[in-house]
Amino acid sequence: MKILVNDIEHDVPFDLSVMTLGQFMEYYDKYGRELDKQLKTIAEKKYTGDADTIEVLRTIDIDNHIDKEALAWFSFWTKMDFFTVKNEPFIQPVLTQYRILRYLLSQSEDDSYNFPSEIEWNDEKWVISNFTVTPASDMTFNEVITSKEVMRQIFTLGNSQWDALPYLCAIFFRKKDEAFDDSFIIEGSERLELMKSLPMTQALMVAFFLGSCVSTWISSSVFSLEEEETGM
Amino acid sequence: MAKFYEQWGWLTLLSTMAETKVFDLPGAGIDSMESVKATKAFKVLTYASLKRDHNVSEYNSLKKQ
């Protein structure tokens, strides 16, 4: 979407395929993390009153939150601070427009869950490793343990899932027939930097894949059970 | 997901599997730890599950005695 701010045209994307993982991480650091915290607070908020009153109060909070989302989204992409003009009458059409376009954003997120086996990217064929751990699957134990260690270290440092995603993409999203190599996840490596330029649609496919992976591993390995469950 | 990873204890699993030397690749010029990492996930997970089953059953038998 093109918008004019002070007669300067800015491009504000509403399609995940035209933004990179690196850009989204930058957005998340600047605005997304705080917005997520605020949304969590709304979700956990105890409202008082009858059912209708509670519904109205919650709707108002969510509505205000979407306004903040809109201001953050436009601020990030235009490099202008929309929060300083949030009460100006001319900002209302922007907020309304965001609500319409937000739907497109969630639509393109849904599309990323239909992941194909092969993806054409940078003139090469890339694949997301098969997550089903069967006798026929090629996934090595190194991929499993490296992804675990990356996640543990990132969460220990208090970082988010978005910080983990380039590493997970480097592990599970590879060129066709390419084996995983430890050098892929070394800080500053060419592969890790390349993953930050991955379109968000592909990055989310890997994230979705990983979610499936975890549930598969949980259900297929007794080792994943907690000690209490096994009585040890 | 973080909670799941935290609980699973993969590094312990890796060193336990390396100690068994079951996955050693003779002549590959790599140590037991690297050999486990290079092994298919299915093989290691299946072995670990069976080993865990065996240990649980042994523990329960000892408790009954």
For A11-14, the CB contacts below 8 A with 24+ separation are: A11/A77, A12/A73, A12/A74, A12/A77, A12/A78, A13/A77, A14/A101, A14/A102, A14/A104, A14/A105, A14/A108
Residue A225 Cα, gap to closest chain B Cα (Å): 8
Q: Domain range for residue A153?
A: 118-218
> Within an 8 Å CB–CB cutoff, is residue B40 touching chain A?
yes
CB pairs under 8 A between A and B: 87
Q: How far is CA A109 from the centre of its chain?
A: 9
Q: Which helix (H) or strand (E) holds B7?
A: helix B2-8
Query: Is residue A187 domain-resident?
Result: yes
Q: Domain range for residue B60?
A: 2-64
> Within an 8 Å CB–CB cutoff, is residue B10 touching chain A?
yes
Spatial distance between the Cα atoms of B15 and A108, rounded to a whole number of angstroms: 42
In contact, B38 and A142? CB cutoff 8 Å: yes
Measured on CA atoms in the order A23, A25, A29, A35, is the torsion positive or negative? positive
pLDDT tens track of chain A, all 232 residues? 888 888 888 889 888 888 999 999 999 999 999 999 999 999 999 998 898 999 999 999 999 999 999 999 999 999 999 999 888 888 888 888 888 888 877 776 766 666 556 788 889 999 887 666 777 778 889 988 888 888 777 777 667 778 888 998 899 899 988 989 889 988 889 999 999 999 988 888 877 777 665 555 544 444 444 444 434 3
Backbone angles phi, psi at A11, to 5 degrees: -100, 120
What angle in degrees, to the nearest 10, is found between the helix axes of A161-172 and A141-156? 160
Spatial distance between the Cα atoms of A201 and A199, rounded to a whole number of angstroms: 5
- Considering the domain architecture, whether residues A62 and A146 belong to the same structural domain is answered as no
Q: What 3-state class would DSSP assign to A159?
A: coil
Tally of domains within chain B: 1
> Within an 8 Å CB–CB cutoff, is residue A139 touching chain B?
yes
In contact, A170 and A191? CB cutoff 8 Å: yes
Question: Domain boundary at A86, A111, A136, which?
Answer: A111
Cβ atoms within 10 Å of A108's Cβ, excluding its own: 19
Query: Is residue A146 domain-resident?
Result: yes
Q: How far is CA A202 from the centre of its chain?
A: 10
> Within an 8 Å CB–CB cutoff, is residue A222 touching chain B?
yes
Question: Domain boundary at A62, A93, A111, which?
Answer: A111
- The pLDDT of residue A160: 75
Task: Record the pTM.
Answer: 0.72
- Considering the domain architecture, whether residues A122 and A102 belong to the same structural domain is answered as no
Burial class (CB within 10 angstroms; exposed 0-12, middle 13-18, buried 19+) of A194? middle
